[in-house]
Amino acid sequence: MAPKKNLRVLSGIQPSGTLHLGNYFGMMSRMIQYQRENELFCFIANYHALTALPDKDTLAQNTFYAACDFLALGMDPEQSTFWVQSDVPQVTELTWVLSSMTSVGLMDRATSYKDKISQGITANMGLFSYPILMAADILCFDTQVVPVGHDQKQHLEITRDIAVRFNHTYGKTLVIPEPDIEKTTQLLPGIDGQKMSKSYHNTIPIFAHEKVIRKQVMSIVTDATPIDQPKNKDTPLFHLYSLFLDETEQKELAQRYDGSGLRYGDIKLELFDRIMDHFSPFREKRDQLTANKKQVHDILHFGAEKANKVAESVLDRVRSATGIGYF
């Protein structure tokens, strides 16, 4: 008999663009670690991507490639539950139920909506009510723990508020999830120094052609400090390079920055080599997956079947509690 997993953990990722180092270090690698000791539920959030990606072919392609990326990097569909969001329709049903009892004022306080509008993303109701769909994603699977970065902390707080209100209104029905906040307060910087994000077009992709990755790495912003002067370590290049180093190597890099003679171009080339070496073992598997769409589809279908069973059990409780299940 397999050992019992500790906690049910859930997270999802949007296929709104090519997955990058920010996705990998911020979410993907953490999920692959979680599945070893916990009951992991992980999904490709294609409904969420609709809020900013209305192109049919691009969304379908990104969804497929995101699944391939995850599987290549170590997602185990036998050990975890791994699926595409739209393959579990109970989530949208729960979204409507939760929307019917969520105040507009709570949505108005969501800072993510304001941030995206300020970036020039067109306002729509999907973007405005995004936190309710996220709440449904979490609550539909009796999730106990949700790993989130500091930029997603408010969304989880909204989820908890909605679940507490639901339970207060209809009786204890939904599991109240706990956050697992990233220990680091440093958001992974993109090549321009802002948070690495597809929205900012400042990412370093995981599995792009090496010429694309090299171009992005060589474009990382640096300052004009003379070569014989110590360099500033609180910079995108230093932080990104440090992700690929062990503790001893990080100290050595810091010493190089504190000394003289360091050339940013040399550090960028070293970082490029580290990136290629780190992901090299996963590239062959990804190539195999992208060449076999049926295999990937079968894996996602298997995951959706497992997710559907859990979601339907939760929705049965919700329907009964609210009176939707009127028989």
Which are the catalytic amino acids?
A: 116, 195, 198
- The tokens for 256 are 């190089």
Taking only Cα atoms into account, the Rg of the chain, rounded to an integer number of angstroms, comes to 21
φ/ψ bin of 201: left (φ > 0), alpha (ψ from -120 to 50), beta (otherwise): left
Q: How far apart are CA 293 and CA 291, in angstroms?
A: 6
Distance of CA 32 to the CA centre of its chain: 12
Neighbours of 290 (CB within 10 A): 16
- Taken as a whole, the chain contains a residue count of 327
Q: How far apart are CA 11 and CA 44, in angstroms?
A: 9
User: Cα separations (Å) of 274 from 107, 181, 206, 210?
Assistant: 42, 27, 12, 12
Q: How far apart are CA 57 and CA 78, in angstroms?
A: 29
Instruction: Say if residues 312 and 318 touch (Cβ distance below 8 Å).
Output: no
Instruction: Say if residues 94 and 318 touch (Cβ distance below 8 Å).
Output: yes
Instruction: Say if residues 21 and 204 touch (Cβ distance below 8 Å).
Output: yes
